[in-house]
Amino acid sequence: MELAHVRGSSKVSLIENTIGKHLAVIAARFPDTIAVQTDKATLTYRQLDEQSDALALSLSNLGLQPCERIAACLGNLAEYVVVIYACAKLGLILAPLNPAYTEMQMIAALNHISVACVVLSVELSLPYKAPRLAKDHFSTVISEKGRLKGMPSLRHVLMINNSTTKCDREDFPGALWYDDLLDSYQNRGRGQIFEHSPTLKPTDIINIQFTSGTTSAPKAACLTHINILNNALLVGRSMELTEIDVICCAPPLFHCFGIVLGLLAAMVHGCTLLIPSESFNSKAVLDAVVKYKATALYGVPTMFLAELDELPKRSEEQNAFSSLRTGLIGGSIIAPALRERLQKELHLSKLLNVYGMTESSPVACMTRLDDKEETHHYTVGSVLPHTEIKIVSRDSPQTVLKGERGELLISGYSLMKGYWEDDQKTADALIIESEPGAPRKQKTWLRTGDEATMRSDGTIEITGRIKDIIIRGGENIYPAEIENLLLLQRDLVSSVAVVGLPDDYYGEVVSAFVVAQDNITIPQGQDDLTFDLREKAAGHVPSNTPSRAQEKVLTSEDIRNWVRTRLSRNCSPKFVFWVSQMPLTTSGKIEKYKLREIGKPFSINTELERSRRMPK
């Protein structure tokens, strides 16, 4: 048997350039091609290059220097793209922040990386919610002089007016305004010309991504021009992107999915980046695909599910989405039945799986357009060029055989430089090994924390997060198997997550958190191992009897029976929690560590109560 260790091809040359200089190359080739399209703005490659030059020059005139950090708390705006490229041209290290951050989270992030400038929009857009007003952030986080309270490194706050109503600038004392900086450049007659600093190198850190981990608090991963520019290149080549493609990017630009696979992959190949809305909105996505005839659609499973749920509300012909030829799905593998629905209803016959981590910039392997259907259904494909993957034993650094389970490790150009000012976490994530037969030659490997197997053809199956695997009485149980099974009941179950909760006898037991479809009734008082944690929304009163509009009933015993009859009794959930929604990361992944925190008190109290009932 072969070892589970593969190296990607090195035939494709990597881009040895900075992101800003590479934009100038693409703008010279496709000056009048639309680079960015939103519902409010259109930018050609020439305009994007010119406007990012102007903003870079204005930021330089403010005294901002290469390697200083600039944080951006923005939704998906055309101005965000200009900010991204201006920072890259000037050598500022951009740190995208989630607009959903609380004031406490924002202060912690800004303090951690000692920012010199913060970019905010007047309204902070959130999925399916009313926009948050940035003035609340501003008054709490920023002093009247435009400085971060308690942090002297912050010298400037730059505001972008995306408000649909009149904006009162007095709400943001001391702030600079994006439009003013661009206007001042225009008013000077473009007398100053931005020149790229000769000291900038492709290996410089250009992006700090606060990871959206599902098992722990965020960390600040440091990525270089080489990292993210080439990941965009290689993913785009696998999709066979050309200048005629229109990429509809639903994921946020503050996440690697959006900024690397969306923005940079489009820019590297001269495509159009189609931004459907400032934050995810399934209707806006479908509207944009139809209006602009998108050829590619991106998302995570929860986004695609929302888009499918939106389809029955629309009146287009079935071929309205026939312009779509490909797309990317990240976060997790979807069930074959769901993939078939996407093929039939959205014409996504070549939806490609991507796998990786923020720390690998992000994609390490993916499926390809010519892969067999079975490969798309059950694997994350094969390794990308200039990337190396191996699977090692969970108990030792030894590489396992193909077909055996172990932890997946990644090596190559795409690995982060480390976590910002956190040597211990960097050392935990990055392993430095000597090359076999060449002890002086060292190679760095990234520990993914994912358990995987490698097939004989080199394709990878992800079997779950190592920390998510449930060990019940010494037996390994894989949550993904249970989740995929339950999601086949799509007419009843909207979302599900399976975690392990502590148990005195077995060590851990299977527990399922379930979001039912809106038209489903969940009876009350089912048993003492079932807990209804749904929000008691206005007008919603849990009932034992379905109304006329609610013909279907779903019980915890239904959930358990589906599992025990199709997998095994050991996989059947002991605890079932009905919830209104799942806690999600910025990239749409379920934060299972939060579910464990929610469920742990219930499991402990149940065990205590049962022990009290036992005869003495």
Residues 246 and 286 in one domain: yes
Whole-number Å distance between alpha carbons of 60 and 46: 21
What pLDDT was estimated at residue 138?
A: 74
Domain span at 57: 19-349
Please state the domain count of the chain: 3
Instruction: Report the SS3 class of residue 424.
Output: helix
Across the range 165-193, mean pLDDT stands at: 82
Whole-number Å distance between alpha carbons of 604 and 513: 17
196 domain-assigned: yes
Return the DSSP state at 102.
-
Question: 438 and 450 in contact (C-beta within 8 Å)?
Answer: no
Q: Which helix (H) or strand (E) holds 24?
A: helix 19-29
Question: 156 and 116 in contact (C-beta within 8 Å)?
Answer: yes
Residues 449 and 477 in one domain: no
Task: Look up the CATH number of the domain holding residue 157.
Answer: 3.40.50.12780
Per-residue model confidence as pLDDT tens digits over 533-564: 886 433 333 444 444 444 689 999 999 999 99
Per-residue model confidence as pLDDT tens digits over 371-405: 999 999 999 999 999 999 999 998 888 999 999 99
Residues 381 and 509 in one domain: no
Instruction: Report the SS3 class of residue 62.
Output: coil
What pLDDT was estimated at residue 84?
A: 99
Residues 193 and 57 in one domain: yes
What is the number of other CB atoms lying within 10 angstroms of the CB of residue 169? 12
Per-residue model confidence as pLDDT tens digits over 407-447: 999 999 999 999 999 999 999 999 999 877 777 788 999 99
Across the range 205-222, mean pLDDT stands at: 79
Of 337, 407, 426, 333, give the one whose Cα is nearest residue 376.
333
Mean pLDDT value across the chain: 89
Query: Can you state the angle between helices 282-292 and 301-310, rounded to 10 degrees?
Result: 80
What pLDDT was estimated at residue 614?
A: 47
Q: Which of these three, 465, 488, 504, is where a domain ends? A: 465
Task: Indicate left, alpha or beta for 297 from its phi (over 0: left) and psi (-120 to 50: alpha).
Answer: beta
Return the DSSP state at 129.
S
431 domain-assigned: yes
Give the dihedral of Cα atoms 371, 374, 379, 380; nearest 10 deg: 30
What pLDDT was estimated at residue 544?
A: 41
Across the range 507-527, mean pLDDT stands at: 89
595 domain-assigned: yes
Residues 142 and 285 in one domain: yes
Return the DSSP state at 364.
E
More confident residue, 125 or 209: 209
Q: How many Cα atoms within 13 Å fall on the side-chain side of residue 408?
A: 30
Task: Look up the CATH number of the domain holding residue 599.
Answer: 3.30.300.30
Instruction: Report the SS3 class of residue 488.
Output: coil
Whole-number Å distance between alpha carbons of 234 and 226: 12
Query: Can you state the angle between helices 178-187 and 45-61, rounded to 10 degrees?
Result: 100
Per-residue model confidence as pLDDT tens digits over 268-282: 999 999 999 999 999
Q: SS3 string of 557-609?
A: HHHHHHHHHHCCHHHCCCEEEECCCCCECCCCCECHHHHHHHHHHHHHHHHHH
Residues 483 and 592 in one domain: yes
- Contacts with 440 (C-beta within 8 Å, 6 or more apart), sequence order: 434
Question: 342 and 360 in contact (C-beta within 8 Å)?
Answer: no
Per-residue model confidence as pLDDT tens digits over 317-350: 878 999 999 999 998 888 888 899 999 999 998 9
Whole-number Å distance between alpha carbons of 122 and 372: 47
Across the range 465-477, mean pLDDT stands at: 84
Of 207, 232, 167, 194, give the one whose Cα is nearest residue 14.
232
Whole-number Å distance between alpha carbons of 330 and 354: 5
Residues 483 and 445 in one domain: no
Whole-number Å distance between alpha carbons of 150 and 325: 51
- Contacts with 186 (C-beta within 8 Å, 6 or more apart), sequence order: 54
Across the range 34-46, mean pLDDT stands at: 98
Question: 230 and 268 in contact (C-beta within 8 Å)?
Answer: no
Whole-number Å distance between alpha carbons of 209 and 268: 20
433 domain-assigned: yes
User: For residue 454, what are its two tokens?
Assistant: 């490698």
* Percentages of the chain per state (helix, strand, coil), in multiples of 5: 35, 25, 40
Question: 487 and 517 in contact (C-beta within 8 Å)?
Answer: no
615 domain-assigned: no
Residues 454 and 525 in one domain: no
Instruction: Report the SS3 class of residue 612.
Output: helix
More confident residue, 331 or 224: 224
Question: 471 and 479 in contact (C-beta within 8 Å)?
Answer: no
Whole-number Å distance between alpha carbons of 373 and 64: 51
Terminal CA-CA length for the chain: 56
Residue 583 confidence (pLDDT) above 70: yes
Q: Which of these three, 325, 349, 373, is where a domain ends? A: 349
pTM score, two decimals? 0.85
Residues 435 and 502 in one domain: no
546 domain-assigned: yes
5 domain-assigned: no
More confident residue, 223 or 550: 223
Residues 198 and 300 in one domain: yes
Question: 452 and 400 in contact (C-beta within 8 Å)?
Answer: no
13 domain-assigned: no
Task: Look up the CATH number of the domain holding residue 364.
Answer: 2.30.38.10
Residues 153 and 255 in one domain: yes
Residues 407 and 324 in one domain: no
Q: What sign results for the dihedral spanned by CA atoms 521, 527, 529, 532?
A: positive
Note if the bond before 362 is cis, omega within 30 degrees.
Answer: yes
CA 420, 108, 110: angle at the middle one, nearest 5? Answer: 65
Whole-number Å distance between alpha carbons of 490 and 498: 16
Q: Which of these three, 332, 349, 366, is where a domain ends? A: 349
Pairing label, strands 132-133, 156-160: unpaired
Whole-number Å distance between alpha carbons of 355 and 389: 12
Pairing label, strands 387-392, 5-7: antiparallel
C-alpha distances (whole Å) from 397 to each of 244, 400, 432, 438, 447 are 46, 9, 12, 18, 11
